[in-house]
A and B are shown apart, each in its own frame.
Chain A
Amino acid sequence: MKGIIFVELIDFLESALGMDVVDDVIETANLPSGAAYTAVGTYPASEVLTLLNTVEAKVGMSVADQQAAFGKHLFGRLAKAHPEYIGSVGGGFELIGAIEDHIHVEVRKLYPDAELPSFEYGERTDDSMVLIYRSQRPMADLCEGLIRGCFAHFNEQVEIARENLPSDGGTHVRFGLKRVG
């Protein structure tokens, strides 16, 4: 997983829990990288889960809640890092609709080794969309957090219906997105 996620996660945890707690978590987690992350590096995705599990054990916040909150935070950071792209997009549905065929294509050009989740699109209208998320990692909550962050950024009220789909290992989730109000 790309270093930017790890750097942002540590920042997020530090701002949420304070430096001492995060330092304690890192010491306890005993990660191969020692949690010395740089945005230009690449690290095992498992370290994210180890950190989140350790946080849950230390402070009682569930991994799912952590992922959802981090996802929202992460979207804001990514949006800030790519203002010209975000500025060119009309709204959340348009941006989410462009993940597979546009954003991921561009990401792969820059990072050929990136392991990206895949998205499929079901029925789509101006005000609704069905999104099928597939990943080797249990990170559907992070995905949902990102989606919420996205609509929040565009100031859009959207209802999210989430349904787990059968999978042979990995995560397979259907998100039903519907504009409200």
Chain B
Amino acid sequence: MPSDDAWKRRLEREKSARRQAEAILEQKSLELWEANQELRAAAEQLEARIAARTGELEETMAALEAANKAKSRFLANMSHEIRSPLTAVMGYANLIEGADLPDAECREWSLALQRSAEHLLGLVGDILDLTKIEAGELAINLEPTPILREVAEIMSLFAAAAQTKGISLDLSCEGSVPSEIHCDPLRLRQIVVNLLSNAVKFTSEGGVRVEISAVSHDLGGTLKIAVADTGVGIPADQLDTIFQPFTQSHDASYGGTGLGLDISRRLAMRLDGDLRVTSELGRGSTFTLTLPVTRRDMVSLVDPEHIHATTRVASRVSLPKDALRGRNIFVTDDSKDNRRIIERFLTQAGATVQLATNGQEALDVLLAEDAPEFDIVLMDVRMPVLDGISATRALRAAGYLGTIVALTADATVDARHASLTAGCDEYIVKPIVPRSLLARLDGLLVGGPRTTRSRTARPGRRRATMTSQSFGTPAAKPARSEPSENTSGLPDWLIAEYLETLRERIDELADAMKADDLTRIRSVAHKIAGTGTSYGYPLLSQLGLDLQSAIDEDHGATLIGDLCGELMVECRHVVGG
């Protein structure tokens, strides 16, 4: 056993060692703490520097965004400004063309002038759209859109071009597709027109086929519109870039702005859809537009066995030279050039024209006691003294019932909305293309020529505004259609489907009327209004819209009741019951 003294000394040594250890650990711990503090300070300094850098970057970014916005605004303004003089250029070029020039060379020049102006107009339109999309200002108005009808109608626009090139143009449906989908018909048209225009442009042998199909799933479905051509095709390495702005096809000789596909894809995305392409060089390309279909849309399907849409547009493009014979048209425009051009077009088409230079002059003439009857009033929107919107509002307030068509260089949805709510029946964007102006006016003038206008409508009753649903072929005073008479140019099976749906609407309307449920009545009226014109029953659309506005503007139970009755009678008449 070790001695007690040895133990004591050992204990002392251990104690002393422990104290040393504690002091050393204390010292180490202090050093650690200090090192930690330094690290923390360094980290904070680093974070501060990062924050400062981020701030700088954010500022730079904001400045860049502002610059980009300014660029877009500038482009939009410029495009808008370019449209106005273009009206004059295209108008005069058209007049020269119609002037029976003796010199073949001059005719060539005039055609070249027109082609260039049309190209310029396309470019300006594309730039405007692109800037609007970039600025997030592009409005999308979803409404029930009869998809087959829309596509068939657009295709008919390309029939002549296809025929000239000697290529085929076919429409087919795979399986059942919804009769209507919730979509913006204006944007849909824009996309399909672009795809078809490309397909026809790049195809010189074979043809272009449009195939519509739909797949359904839990949440509704997807509609596919595939535009397939047997044209030049796109090299594999360019498939990614063709959707970028200012990127042209591999062969610049085909012309075009290089913006179309970019705009189309962005529009498709704004419609919650997509646009994709597959292509084989030398064999052709297929562009597929997909659009969402709601579950409700999937309920009403049409099941075509196989349709072959042929051209329906012929009647529209080749209007008779005297399409407006016997018509009396009033033109209000502050621009002398425009007045002269429009006057020439209209008189060439056989109309009698009276002119005014601002809204006030128009009011003075149109509201005079001994005012002649005008079939149509063309109303420029921006004018000195009294603008077109105010003038239209004043006319409607005074009980003027004639057809008023707004004419403006402002292509925005807001401008359209403003003129339609002021009481205009239609809205035409400048520059004025004579053929389409005449077609639009012809569309407004359903029925035989007349020189007097019925004033039997209720005094003070406002005319309904037209939705863009009936944009293409609206009818100001639609004639009553014969039951089941197919005047739409659509296949009979499609009309039959429509009439079947209309029978359901009649029941819905009857129910809603019995329940005195204005919301439901309005909803049925809206549905009927949305499709009537498209299927060749413009009076149905008109009555539906009248009923809708009567409800919206709270016109009282008596009038609403009357309109319900009228709509019901017309619906029954159309379905032949």
Contacts and interface: CB of A to CB of B under 8 A. Distances in A.
- A and B co-occur in one complex: yes
Interface of A: 18-20, 23-24, 26-27, 34-41
From DSSP, what is the main secondary structure of chain B's interface residues? helix
Interface in B22-81: 24-25, 28
Contacts of B25: 40
B136 interface: no
A29 B14 CA distance: 17
Nearest to B27: A40
A19 to B, nearest CB: 4
Contacts of B9: 23, 26-27
Interface of B: 2-3, 5-7, 9-10, 12-18, 20-21, 24-25, 28
A34 B13 contact: yes
B10 A23 contact: yes
A36 B16 contact: yes
Contact of B6 (A19, A35, A41): A19
A10 B18 CA distance: 15
A35 B2 contact: no
A35 B24 contact: no
A41 B2 contact: no
Given A40-B21, A41-B21, 17 more contacts: A19-B2, A19-B6, A20-B2, A20-B3, A23-B9, A23-B10, A26-B13, A34-B16, A36-B12, A36-B13, A36-B14, A36-B20, A37-B13, A38-B18, A38-B20, A40-B24, A41-B20
Contacts of B5: 23
A41 B15 CA distance: 14
A20 to B, nearest CB: 5
6 contacts: A19-B7, A19-B10, A36-B15, A36-B20, A40-B24, A40-B28
Contacts of A23: 2, 5-6, 9-10
Contacts of A26: 9, 13
A114 to B, nearest CB: 15
Contacts of A24: 6
Nearest to B7: A19
Contacts of B20: 36, 38, 41
Contacts of A19: 2, 6-7, 10
Given A40-B21, A41-B24, A18 B2 contact: yes
Interface centre among B12, B16, B18, B28 (most CB of A within 10 A): B16
A18 B2 CA distance: 8
Contacts of A40: 21, 24-25, 28
A9 B18 CA distance: 17
A36 B2 contact: no
A35 B13 CA distance: 7
